[in-house]
């Protein structure tokens, strides 16, 4: 498995501001993903963080609102820009790699970042 940490674990922010969430993995991984989750509900994929190139965004999510960086194989950031109360959610990063499990069969999640926008 992989040990994944996220910073911050939670934050309360004012509308109109931006927050950058960090995801750190204890080993090099092939794929990193960013999800959003309302408490008690399912996960929605925001984007795939690609190392050395622009992230691949899912329908309904755009780079201007959720810029993503992935400078190396162990680290990624997600920024929630110009926040509104509707952005209040749990943001999770996940990783997948043949070094930690069969490709496509083992995706591990970080502990999440709980964001409240006032």
Partner 1 sequence: TQLLEQSPQFLSIQEGENLTVYCNSSSVFSSLQWYRQEPGEGPVLLVTVVTGGEVKKLKRLTFQFGDARKDSSLHITAAQPGDTGLYLCAGKAGGTSYGKLTFGQGTILTVHP
Which residues bind to partner 1, rule: CB under 8 A?
A: 1, 4, 30-31, 33, 39-45, 48, 58, 92, 94, 96, 98, 102-112, 114
Q: Which is nearer to partner 1, 12 or 16 (CB)?
A: 12
Q: How far apart are CA 21 and CA 49, in angstroms?
A: 13
Answer whether 80's CB lies under 8 Å from 115's CB: yes
Q: How far is the CB of 58 from partner 1 (least distance, A)?
A: 8
Q: Measure CA of the first residue to CA of the last residue in the chain; give whole Å.
A: 36
From the CB of 19, what's the least distance to partner 1, in Å? 18
Residue 48 Cα distances to 3, 12, 16, angstroms: 19, 25, 25
Nearer to partner 1, 26 or 58 (CB): 58
CA 75 to chain CA centroid, nearest Å: 11
Q: How far is the CB of 60 from partner 1 (least distance, A)?
A: 12
Nearer to partner 1, 20 or 44 (CB): 44
């Amino acid at each position: 498995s992989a040990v994944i940490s996220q910073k911050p674990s939670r934050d309360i922010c004012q509308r109109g501001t931006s927050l950058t969430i960090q995801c750190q993995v204890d080993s090099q991984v092939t794929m990193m993903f960013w999800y959003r989750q309302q408490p008690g509900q399912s996960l929605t994929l925001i984007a795939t963080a690609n190392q050395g190139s622009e992230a691949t965004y899912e329908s309904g999510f755009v780079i201007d609102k959720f810029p993503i960086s992935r400078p190396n194989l162990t680290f990624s950031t997600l920024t929630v820009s110009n926040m509104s109360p509707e952005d209040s959610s749990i943001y999770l990063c996940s990783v997948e790699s043949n070094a930690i499990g069969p490709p496509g069969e083992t995706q591990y999640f970080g502990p999440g970042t709980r964001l409240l926008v006032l």
